Amino acid sequence: MSRPFIGDHRGAYDILFFAIACILSFAYSFPVVPNVSPATGLANQFYTWKEDQSIRFQCVGPEDGEPVVLVHGLFVNSDHWRKSLKALGDGGYRVFALDLWGCGYSDKPAATSQAAQLCNGENGRSPYNFYTWSDLISDFCRDIVLNDVDKHKAVTLVSNSIGTISSLQAVLDNPSLYKGVFVVCPNFRELHSAEIPLPSFSMPVIRGVQSLLRTYGQTAFDALAKPDTVKQILKEPYAVTEAVDDTLVQVLLDPLLTEGASQVVFDTLSYSAGPLPEQQLSVFPMDKPVWICYGTADPWTPGPRVEALKRFPVVESVEALTDIGHCPHDEAPELVHPLLFRFLERLNTGNTKKAQTESMVK
């Protein structure tokens, strides 16, 4: 396999320090899980995974609708899909959004605990990794999604940011469960060891920062938890800053105050292995189409590297969204949702040429 295209490495440091700022902004307290999401008005439901792990999810849309599963990005949760849940549900799809294990209101056992290691999809690594999340997505689709709409045979995945790695891996591991993947701003693993420039210098520095946070971070947690601070942090990846409203701050902040959340964040930041999207797409099943959209003002996802994904035959469409940041589904749903609906139509009708042509028409 040829060495993947390496883009602008400034994003690695942006993401690292954004994550540090997020961690430092969350005080050590454990909020009560609401019965209903303040962002969506949907009931918070729970799936028991691996016998004793509780996974939070939300669901909307007619029971006979085609199934769609939304997979969130790093440090967020299913509420980040607040606008897409409503749009797809109103459009007649049966839509599910889950909190990945270790995220949101899903369980977060200590990485070294027996409970966590029993879930681990990658031996010798932190259990909070892409192979574990791939296993969760596929089990959730079997046990909840396809059981709920049992006449359907396959699920469409929609992913944002680093959730893309887990989604692509889920298809690679269990292709018969899926129809295809719609990607909103892929992540290129800027903290992956293959992505860090001058790794012999940079990686020890990054490891040192991680170690300091593990040792001394609690003092900052207790001092800096303020919604206004969180709002400013969120405006780093958002180009459309008006989308960063009080509801978004609340639904992203509260789950990060739950027990074990900060340790999962540290574990995730310390994980520099696993697959890269180019590697996954190079061996992706040709009957599982992939469409991608991204924001041209995204500070973390280099546009040229996204455009380069067109070289993989399975990638049928790459769409640039002008002046939009890293979270187009929340910043500019009026641009993302028409593309997503065309992708879903393409999967359900098989009319590739018509769908590709329409995807280029604004």
Strands 315-321 and 45-49: unpaired
Given pLDDT bands bounded at 50, 70 and 90, which one contains residue 4? very low
Sheet of 178-186, strand order = 45-49, 53-60, 94-98, 67-71, 155-161, 178-186, 290-295, 315-321
CA distances (Å), origin 134, targets 119, 150, 153, 331 = 11, 21, 18, 27
- Confidence check: pLDDT of 20 > 70: no
What pLDDT score does 216 carry?
53
pLDDT tens-digit series, residues 199-250: 454 445 555 555 555 555 545 544 445 678 878 888 999 999 999 999 999 9
Residue 3 resides in a domain: no
More confident residue, 28 or 99: 99
What pLDDT score does 76 carry?
94
The strand ranges marked E within 3-71 are 45-49, 53-60, 67-71
- Confidence check: pLDDT of 137 > 70: yes
Other Cβ atoms closer than 10 A to 212: 11
**Torsion over CA: 339, 360, 295, 247 (sign):** negative
What pLDDT score does 11 carry?
56
Residue 146, CA atoms < 13 Å, CB-side half-sphere: 16
Residue 175, CA atoms < 13 Å, CB-side half-sphere: 9
pLDDT tens-digit series, residues 243-283: 999 999 999 989 988 888 878 877 787 777 789 999 999 99
Residue in the block written with tokens 């799936």? 47
What pLDDT score does 178 carry?
98
CATH number assigned to the domain comprising residue 77: 3.40.50.1820
Residue 2 resides in a domain: no
Q: Cβ distance 119 to 53 under 8 Å?
A: yes
Question: What does residue 44 show for φ and ψ, rounded to 5 degrees?
Answer: -80, 115
Angle at 269 between CA 268 and CA 275, to 5 degrees: 65
Retrieve residue 212's tokens: 């300091």
Angle at 76 between CA 308 and CA 218, to 5 degrees: 120
What is the value of pTM for the model shown? 0.86
pLDDT tens-digit series, residues 61-100: 999 999 999 999 988 999 999 999 999 999 999 999 999 9
Strands 315-321 and 290-295: parallel
Retrieve residue 91's tokens: 């459009």
CB-neighbour burial class of residue 106 (10 A; exposed 0-12, middle 13-18, buried 19+) = buried
pLDDT tens-digit series, residues 169-189: 999 999 999 999 999 999 987
More confident residue, 142 or 354: 142
Residue 1 resides in a domain: no
State what percent of residues in the chain have pLDDT above 90.
64
Residue 136 resides in a domain: yes
Q: Cβ distance 100 to 163 under 8 Å?
A: yes
What pLDDT score does 203 carry?
46
- Confidence check: pLDDT of 351 > 50: yes
CA distance 139 to 142: 5
CA distance 28 to 259: 8
Residue 266, CA atoms < 13 Å, CB-side half-sphere: 19
What pLDDT score does 220 carry?
53
Closest CA to 162 of 237, 214, 235, 261: 237
Q: Residue 125 is part of which domain span?
A: 10-359
- Confidence check: pLDDT of 45 > 80: yes
Residue 4 resides in a domain: no
Asked which of 3-17, 243-257, 326-340 is least confident by mean pLDDT, the reply is 3-17
CA distance 272 to 129: 10
Q: Of 23-32, 155-164, 263-272, 347-356, which has the strongest mean pLDDT?
A: 155-164
More confident residue, 75 or 317: 317
What pLDDT score does 15 carry?
57
What pLDDT score does 230 carry?
78
Residue 163 resides in a domain: yes
Domain count, the chain: 1
Closest CA to 322 of 336, 340, 305, 309: 336
End-to-end CA distance of the chain: 36
Residue 203 resides in a domain: yes
> Which residues, in sequence order, are bridge partners of residue 94?
67
Alpha carbon 58 to chain centroid, angstroms: 15
Average pLDDT score over residue span 112-119 = 94
What pLDDT score does 228 carry?
80
Asked which of 86-90, 152-156, 163-167, 315-319 is least confident by mean pLDDT, the reply is 152-156
Given pLDDT bands bounded at 50, 70 and 90, which one contains residue 6? very low
Residue 125, CA atoms < 13 Å, CB-side half-sphere: 18
Residue 254 resides in a domain: yes
Average pLDDT score over residue span 137-156 = 87
> What is the rounded average pLDDT for all residues in the chain?
84
Given pLDDT bands bounded at 50, 70 and 90, which one contains residue 152? low
